[in-house]
Amino acid sequence: MGRSPCCEKAHTNKGAWTKEEDDRLVAYIKAHGEGCWRSLPKAAGLLRCGKSCRLRWINYLRPDLKRGNFSDDEDELIIKLHSLLGNKWSLIAGRLPGRTDNEIKNYWNTHIRRKLLNRGIDPATHRPLSESAQATTTISFAAAACSRDQEDSKTDVKSLATPPPTVAVVKKEVEKCPDLNLELRISPPYQEQFYRETTPSGKEELCFDCRLGLESSRDCSCSISSGPKESAAGFDFLGLKSGVLDYRSLEMK
DNA sequence: AAACTTTCCAACCGCGCTTCC
DNA sequence: TGGAAGCGCGGTTGGAAAGTT
């Protein structure tokens, strides 16, 4: 016996919400509060699935939502959180007041991923593309770039994920464009460069922000950039000084 | 101006987890 | 203790809007 459907699909509306539906939902929740999504549609006089009502409320109608563009600070915070948490959008959203998991997820897929690729960072791993591409796709990058006359600076993720038909073919392509330096080491530097020379004999480890190419970030804890600094122990982002992320401290929305 | 392509985001779907009986 | 119900999450889709040819 399978799972029962979340609602009676035959008698529910789907697709975009109307103003009237929104009003009904808001009025009902204002009067009765959130909860019991399954029974809410009927009680509120809505021909909608409970899940749909929940989504609509959480992602669009909640009064505490912050609409509008993401700020640069929010961008960087999302990048940092994603590097720590991965695609845990709800956890990330919990750290961004007024933003929803769905909104952040969409924003990531449409803006930030491209932004990271332009910085030479693999959005999936947060490592330099040269590093993750070394084994298989460094060559494909060059080939792809040649064939496209370098027309776009926005790198399509699909081209990264999909290797070329054969290595031999690709190598030939590379030879056609010998003067192009297509190695995507734009920023941040390769892992070996996560250290910088401080003295002729010494090296200093770069902080997390600098590894991401965010030297100007206020959270930068090494001495690369100017401005106020945290202690030598480093900025305690998300309480990570111990090196262990305590998920219990992450507030859910 | 029309046709076509790309981008963006609201909404849906299915699965996993938790709670309750 | 097991199963059903309910909720929440992440991935995916569909269509409107914007951009390009």
| Enclosing H/E stretch for A73 | helix A72-85
Q: Which span out of A34-43, A184-193, A209-218 was modeled with the highest average pLDDT?
A: A34-43
Nucleotides, chain C, CB distance < 7 Å? 4-12, 15
User: Which nucleotide lies at the shortest CA–C1' distance from A15?
Assistant: B11
Q: How far is the CA of A233 from the C1' of B4 (A)?
A: 56
Q: What global pTM score does this model have?
A: 0.60
Which of A51-55, A130-134, A201-205, A235-239 is least confident?
Answer: A235-239
Nucleotides, chain B, CB distance < 7 Å? 7-16
Cα dist from A91 to A51, A84, A99, A137, A167, whole Å: 20, 11, 11, 32, 40
| Enclosing H/E stretch for A202 | strand A202-205
Establish whether the CB of A89 is closer than 7 Å to any nucleic acid atom in strand C: yes
Establish whether the CB of A17 is closer than 7 Å to any nucleic acid atom in strand B: yes
Q: Which span out of A11-15, A22-26, A164-168, A205-209 was modeled with the highest average pLDDT?
A: A22-26
Mean of pLDDT values over A96-119: 86
pLDDT of res. A138: 38
pLDDT-based confidence at residue A134 (cuts at 50, 70, 90): low
The size of chain A, in residues, is 253
Q: How far is the CA of A213 from the C1' of C8 (A)?
A: 34
Rounded to the nearest 10°, the torsion over CA A225, A226, A230, A233 is 40
Residue A123 clears pLDDT 70, i.e. is over it: yes
The DSSP secondary structure of A175-199, one letter per residue, reads: HH-TT-------SS--GGGGEEEEE
CA distance A38 to A54: 9
| Enclosing H/E stretch for A77 | helix A72-85
User: Which nucleotide lies at the shortest CA–C1' distance from A36?
Assistant: C6
Q: How far is the CA of A143 from the C1' of B6 (A)?
A: 23
Q: Token digits for A42?
A: 């009927």
**Pick from A118, A121, A112, A113: nearest CA to A189:** A121
Q: How far is the CA of A158 from the C1' of C12 (A)?
A: 16
Q: Please name the amino acid found at residue A176.
A: K
More confident of the two residues A67 and A2: A67
Q: Give A218: exposed, middle or buried? Use CB within 10 Å, 0-12, 13-18, 19+.
A: middle
Residues 97-116 of A with CB under 7 A from strand B: 102-103, 105-107, 109-111
pLDDT of res. A9: 52
Residues 138-167 of A with CB under 7 A from strand B: 154
User: Which nucleotide lies at the shortest CA–C1' distance from A53?
Assistant: B11
pLDDT of res. A8: 53
Q: How far is the CA of A36 from the C1' of B21 (A)?
A: 17
